[in-house]
Structure 1
Amino acid sequence: MDARRPSIGHAGGRGRGQNDLNAQERSQPAGRGEVRIDIVDVLRGIAASAVVVQHVAESSGLPGLWYLLELAPGVFGVVLFFLISGFVIPLSVRGVSDWRAYALRRVFRIYPLTLFAFALLAALMLLGALPPADAPWYVWLANLLLLQDFVRVPALLGVTWTLPIEFAWYTLFGLSFFLLGRRGLRLLSLAYPIGMVGLIALSLLLEIRLPFGRIGMLYAALIGMQCFRFAGGEIGRREILVSCGVFVGLMMVANWVAFGHFSHPNIKLHHALMPWALASLLFFVALFRIKLASPPSWIGQGLLFLGRISFSVYLLHPIVMGLVHPFAEGLAFIVAVCGLTLPLAWLSFTYIEKPGIEMGRALVRRRRTVAA
């Protein structure tokens, strides 16, 4: 593996993002700065598996799986996804000349597969393979723009609720980095926990329940970014330990406020506290390389494969569940969903997701050529 110190900058000040980009390309000796993409893919595989487990356990009709649902694996998987997203997003600015190129690549990372998922959903509804949504055009438009939660229309593909949060993270990171460089990321890492404290206090004082789960997903991405900065030698051990400790403490309090002090119709307090704690622990253990027994190679290879197709697995497994549900239940339902989701996800990754990513890169290269 290529050993680099993935520092995202040495220059501070407004408009210094390009200087940071130049600095980060320099190869450094192996050590704390080595970027372990394999472990990131393994974590993605675990996260995708956890989300699928949540949904198939809920829909299988097997009463013996209640204990899995009490662990809230879906929440665990989503939190882990956002921790990973924060860790890898600094890598996305390598070779990117400005914020427009960054935005273009981010859009082409998410939207080609998202549009394919909605197109597949619509086609299956038209063919009668899935129940029709009976939704007017503006509901489809809001869902395609990922605005369904903001304009209060039904979600046609429920798992897309996380994508607006992902784009919000891309925006926060991009604004901080391209306006202020490394100093902007430091300010963001200080301002967000302070803002969390303020929101927690406001929620308690005004007796208003705030969506701390979603707000916390952005915080998780921020902590992932901090872990990347630590891995690159940009911040020290003391700062990362303080950042992680404050994150865990604040999210425990925020979840208590959202699901303990207030209530949620579907999520109890332990459904929030336990998966947030476990996802954070797994992420920190994996990236700080605390020595654990290595899993058998076939498990590791399986998780690597799942990690590489994880976005396709995440978006497409609910569609497969809808197809299978009329024909199977119980264990047969679980086996059929997993058996169909994996090849479909591999095909969509190979022929939709990867070409979409490459299209974004090609457009960035074309912009650079025209500008030159």
Structure 2
Amino acid sequence: MTPPPPGVRRLPTLTGLRFAAAALVLLGHLNLSPAFVPPARIAVSFFFVLSGFVLTWSARENDPLRRFWRRRFWKILPNHVVTWGLMLAVVAVSGLPASPALPPGATPPASAVANLALLHAWFPATTLLSSVNPVSWSLCSELLFYALFPAILPLVLRIPARRLGVAAAAVVVLTWLVPVAALLFSGPVHVPGSPGMPVSQYWFAYYFPPSRLPEFLLGMVLARMVHSGLLPRIGVTVPSLGIGVLLAAATAALPLHFTFAAATIIPVALVVLGAAAMDVRGVRSFWNLRATVFLGEISFALYLVHPPVIVAYNRLVGGPSRAAIGVAGTGLVLATLCLLAAWALHRFVERPLMWRFGSGRAFATSRDTVRALAKSGPARL
């Protein structure tokens, strides 16, 4: 198989799928049904794999570290700071906690500072993990990925094309070792919705940034596979169904720790691989329509802004709304408000600051990088 054409610069199908993942997270937090919570966790796993893929796909040969980290900073920090401040204001005014795991009342200053600095996921304390904007814990992992990426990329580029499958399998094994290691932890039990699980186990398997590194590494290897000519015609529907089947089986047969990422990591990887292959081959689908891609472009803003919108709505009209239009109707209204807030955050904060200070060229692949990646030769399958 031959490498993808050098002119392939954007991956709109993967962008559209980002919205699907963000929507699953939103559904998990709307309290419509407990059934939406496990898929929301898998959506985060998808984001981590996608992060590794995108950074490797868009890597620029001889890119100065300062320039790389500047782009990453301006990509995530403005949205984080704005939603951090918004959530603090909503909690202060409403008196409602930012997360059901927290007691009502003002956020402790130390927790607020740790959250702002994106250090809170490094410690197994519920008051830190769910502090201020509770979804920002994943950004702690992203910062670790960004810090390590310049050192890891040369190692991934040295993997011979014929060995990429072995490398992917090894990373999948590492993903499974994370929940196995989590079972060794003990301590106080206080995890809402997870009776009997110590906080330390939940933290290590789900929140602890190094525990999510294998998912990011898998994304990097997948990007090498596509660059080396692996373009499977699997699409995204069949792997997505595989995620549902394996998640249901793991929920019934395995400890909760394994449902965070390990049980579904292979079909998640196949979704990323199938979507990228569709874009390289120029396949049209629902996921790369203009409207879907737009929703994908605001997905990061949606991910960060929906918690303060939900808390504010619950404080202002949550009770009367559920009584008047029901749980489903309230969920629809909330989803609409979250989308509008996400558009505003993307339009007036994320996009202008990224273009002004961070170059705004996500998904762009330089020809030098394509040539460097192609040096490993076509994949031998």
Q: Give the aligned partner of residue 284 of structure 1.
A: 273
User: Alignment partner for residue 357 of structure 2, among 346, 351, 360?
Assistant: 360
Q: Residues 312 and 346 of structure 1 are in contact (CA less than 8 Å); yes or no, is this contact kept in structure 2?
A: yes
Q: Which moved more, 1:44-53 or 1:310-319?
A: 44-53
Looking at structure 2, the residues matched to 282 and 201 of structure 1 have their Cα atoms a distance apart, in angstroms, of 22
Change (3 A) 1:282 1:138: same
Looking at structure 2, the residues matched to 225 and 149 of structure 1 have their Cα atoms a distance apart, in angstroms, of 23
Equivalence map 1:6-155=2 (5 Å): 34-56=8-30, 59-60=31-32, 65-66=33-34, 68-69=35-36, 72-94=38-60, 97-128=63-94, 133-151=105-123, 152=125, 153-154=127-128, 155=130
Tell me how far 1:143 sits from its aligned partner. 0.6
Tell me how far 1:270 sits from its aligned partner. 5.6
AA paired with 2:157?
A: R
Q: Which moved more, 1:300-309 or 1:189-198?
A: 189-198
Q: Does 1:160 align with 2:157?
A: no
Tell me how far 1:357 sits from its aligned partner. 1.6
Looking at structure 2, the residues matched to 138 and 185 of structure 1 have their Cα atoms a distance apart, in angstroms, of 47
Change (3 A) 1:140 1:277: same
How far does the alpha carbon of each residue in 1:327-367 deviate from its partner, in whole angstroms, 9 at most, with x for none? 2330232112111111111111011111232243369xxxx
Q: Residues 175 and 262 of structure 2 are in contact (CA less than 8 Å); yes or no, is this contact kept in structure 1?
A: no
Change (3 A) 1:188 1:322: farther
How far does the alpha carbon of each residue in 1:101-160 deviate from its partner, in whole angstroms, 9 at most, with x for none? 211221121111100101111233344485574223211110101111324343221111
Q: Give the aligned partner of residue 188 of structure 2.
A: none
Q: Residues 84 and 221 of structure 1 are in contact (CA less than 8 Å); yes or no, is this contact kept in structure 2?
A: yes
User: Alignment partner for residue 158 of structure 2, among 183, 189, 193?
Assistant: 183
AA paired with 2:272?
A: F
Equivalence map 1:228-239=2 (5 Å): 228-233=223-228
- How many residue pairs match? The answer is 305
Q: Give the aligned partner of residue 315 of structure 1.
A: 304
Tell me how far 1:285 sits from its aligned partner. 2.5
Q: Residues 230 and 236 of structure 1 are in contact (CA less than 8 Å); yes or no, is this contact kept in structure 2?
A: yes
User: TM-score when scaled to structure 1?
Assistant: 0.67
Q: Secondary structure at the match of 2:358?
A: helix
How far does the alpha carbon of each residue in 1:296-343 deviate from its partner, in whole angstroms, 9 at most, with x for none? 59x934421220001100001111111122423302321121111111
Looking at structure 1, the residues matched to 260 and 359 of structure 2 have their Cα atoms a distance apart, in angstroms, of 43
Looking at structure 1, the residues matched to 106 and 20 of structure 2 have their Cα atoms a distance apart, in angstroms, of 35
Q: Residues 115 and 144 of structure 1 are in contact (CA less than 8 Å); yes or no, is this contact kept in structure 2?
A: yes
Tell me how far 1:99 sits from its aligned partner. 1.3
Q: Secondary structure at the match of 2:120?
A: coil
Show structure 2 runs of 5+ residues with no match: 98-103, 186-200, 233-241, 361-381
Looking at structure 1, the residues matched to 175 and 15 of structure 2 have their Cα atoms a distance apart, in angstroms, of 33
Q: Give the aligned partner of residue 348 of structure 1.
A: 345
Q: Secondary structure at the match of 1:51?
A: helix
Q: Percent identity of the aligned residues?
A: 24
Q: Does 1:219 align with 2:248?
A: no
Q: Which moved more, 1:107-116 or 1:325-334?
A: 325-334
AA paired with 1:304?
A: V
AA paired with 1:118?
A: W
Show structure 1 runs of 5+ residues with no match: 7-27, 239-247, 364-372
Change (3 A) 1:355 1:204: closer
Q: Residues 55 and 220 of structure 2 are in contact (CA less than 8 Å); yes or no, is this contact kept in structure 1?
A: yes
Tell me how far 1:201 sits from its aligned partner. 6.8
AA paired with 1:325?
A: N
Q: Secondary structure at the match of 2:289?
A: helix
Looking at structure 2, the residues matched to 79 and 199 of structure 1 have their Cα atoms a distance apart, in angstroms, of 11
Change (3 A) 1:198 1:231: closer
Q: Residues 86 and 224 of structure 1 are in contact (CA less than 8 Å); yes or no, is this contact kept in structure 2?
A: yes
Provide the aligned C-alpha RMSD in A.
Answer: 4.2
Looking at structure 2, the residues matched to 295 and 197 of structure 1 have their Cα atoms a distance apart, in angstroms, of 32
AA paired with 1:230?
A: M
Looking at structure 2, the residues matched to 91 and 314 of structure 1 have their Cα atoms a distance apart, in angstroms, of 23
Q: Secondary structure at the match of 1:289?
A: helix
